[in-house]
Structure formats: C-alpha cells, structure tokens
Amino acid sequence: MYYRLRHNFRLSIITLLGASAVLGITPFAVYRFWQGNVSAGIADSGILLSICVAVVYAWRSGDTDRAGFVLALVAGGGGVTVATLLGEVGLFWLFPSLITNFFLTSALVAVLVNLGALAFLMVQGVAFSSQEQMWSFVTTAVVVSCCAYVFALRNDSQRERLEHLATMDPLTGVHNRRSMDQELAAAVLAKQRNGASYALVVLDLDHFKRINDDFGHSVGDQILIAFVDVLITHIRKSDQLFRFGGEEFVLLMPGVDHNGLEVVMANLQRSLRRSLKSPAGCPVTASLGIALLQEGEDADHWMARADEALYQAKSNGRDCIIYADALAEAVG
C-alpha cells in the first residue's frame, strides 16, 4: 500500500481527497440532517459516497485517469450543488475543488470543469446575493484556477523529468533495470491474455574487464556507447533495449519466432564483430543468451533461462549465441 502511494502521484491525491472527504464532509452531512436541511444533507452524503466509490475503484483497478476524471466532475458538481442549496455559505466549498481538480485530471479537463461550474453558478445566480458579489467570486475563482493551472503544468513537467531519469541509464541513454522489470511483467501479461510471442536476449561484452584494466574506464564507457549504437541500428522500433548492469544488456523483442530470431541474431553478431574495436584494434565481441517466453512462465523464470543460456555461451568460448530451448533439449 505504502509503495503504491509513494510511486503513484495521482493515486496518492485521490486517496488524500477520499480521506479529506470522510473527515471534512461527514460532520457537515450529519449537521445538515440534524438541522432539518434534508436536501443539503442528501447532497453532502451523495458527494461523499461518490468520492469513496471512485477511491475504491482507483485502488482496485489501478485506473487513476478515469477515477480522477470522475472525482473532478464530482468535486465540481458537488461544489455547485452545495452553493446552490446553501447560497453564500456554500460558495466556500467550491474553492478546494477548483484547486484539487488540477491534480485529479489533466490541466485542460480541470479548466473545462472549473469554467463549467462557474458558468452554471453565474447563469443560475441563486448562490449570490448581488452582482458585485458574483463578479468578485468569479474573478477570485478564475485567479485561483490560473495559479493552480500553472503549478499543475510545472508539477507535471518536473514529475515526467524525474520519471525519465529514474528509468534511463545515464551513460548509454537506454532504459535501466527498473524499467526492464516493468516491461517484462507487461510482456508476461500480454502472453497470458492474447498469446503474444516474445524473445528475451541477454547480451554481455566479452572480456570487458580487461578493456577497462588495459585502457581505462573512459575507454570502456565509449565502447559501451558504441555497443548500444550498433544494437539500436539493428533492432526494430518495437524492440526494447535495457542496461541490466555493467557490460550486460537485455533486449526484449515482441512478435518473433525461433527461425526469424536466428537470422536477426546472426546478423547482429556479425555487425558487432565488424563494428566494435578496442584501442589496440582487436575486435570486441559479445556473448548472447536467448529465451522465448513460454506459456505460463513468469518473468523471473524467463530471465533465469536466458541467463543460463548466456552462461553457457561464455562457457563455450564466448562470441557465440545459445538458445535456451536448444540448451534444454541438449540437457534432456
């Protein structure tokens, strides 16, 4: 639970809104009924129930976009309803929703919801005691919405930048292990749902430690970058490349079979031999372990089979390709 709240910004906002609604709206709903203002009490209860349902939906489904959109409508519509029923006192309930909407849904949708709520109140007019009060409230609400809009855009930009940094390898510019774990889990799920085929290729540069020891880590870094450039040149846009750690990389390839994979990997191996050279002019080669995703297999077992194939490739003298399926048949 804590992990999801920490790593899902919109879910944390939705949860916070739900908790605030229970603590803030419940006493007022009870007070309305106790005063005999049944319509206002029902409105408060309806808002509270709708928010709670949306929060539960967000937690159970993980669909925070839809839940946030519904909550923005509920918050805006609820604020308008309370203001209409209670008049001037109810207008104060609209300000929290004007701000919160920008964190529940996209900035454009939040603007439209806020403008719609203000327009409805202006047309109806019953919530205001005078024209001066109406224009003062609307002006203030627009200023608040503009400030929230700018802050929300800035916040989204910063969050996207942080997410990018958290999932990318700073040296090579490819995705890192954290991103790989997410994509492997998604591939397993796609296999379960529609039988999609995937191949996992683990690539490791041969004798890379020797390159670092002989020529320095800066040269080793340049070879890693060149290695990635060669890989990216020879893979499809749908393929995904990850840096697993050190000189080891992982390639996730959707929609491939064994025969097509053999041709692609053989061409890739030849290109690596031809393109990668050490400062001494010696070829820099790579060993490859490959595993096709099997029915009912989880990500850890899939990765373990590809790793075992890579280990066998290195045991066979390096600069070779081993397929996990062929390895299993040989052992069997």
Question: What does the pLDDT look like over 123-143, one tens digit per residue?
Answer: 888 888 888 888 988 899 899
Comparing 48 with 327, the larger pLDDT belongs to: 48
Distance from chain centroid for Cα 73: 24
**Residue 312, pLDDT score:** 93
**Segment 139-160, tens digit of pLDDT:** 998 998 888 888 888 877 777 7
156 and 13 in contact (C-beta within 8 Å)?
no
Give the residue ranges of DSSP H helices in the chain.
Answer: 2-7, 9-35, 38-61, 64-86, 94-104, 107-124, 131-167, 177-194, 208-215, 217-234, 258-275, 299-315, 324-331
**Residue 329, pLDDT score:** 61
Q: Is the pTM of this model over 0.85?
A: no
**Residue 132, pLDDT score:** 87
Q: Classify domain 177-331 at the CATH topology level.
A: Alpha-Beta Plaits (3.30.70)
Task: Please determine, for residue 230, whether its predicted confidence score (pLDDT) is greater than 80.
Answer: yes
Q: Is 160 a catalytic residue?
A: no
**Segment 252-277, tens digit of pLDDT:** 999 988 888 888 899 999 999 888 88
**Segment 34-52, tens digit of pLDDT:** 988 888 788 878 888 888 8
Domain with CATH 3.30.70.270 in the chain: 177-331
User: For the chain, what is the mean pLDDT?
Assistant: 86
Q: Count CA atoms within 13 Å of residue 192 on its CB side.
A: 10
63 and 105 in contact (C-beta within 8 Å)?
no
**Segment 77-114, tens digit of pLDDT:** 888 887 887 777 778 778 888 888 888 888 888 889 89
Task: Please determine, for residue 290, whether its predicted confidence score (pLDDT) is greater than 90.
Answer: yes
Which residue is catalytic, options 183, 247, 248, 308? 247
Comparing 165 with 188, the larger pLDDT belongs to: 188
Distance from chain centroid for Cα 190: 17
**Segment 167-204, tens digit of pLDDT:** 888 899 899 988 898 899 999 988 998 888 999 999 99
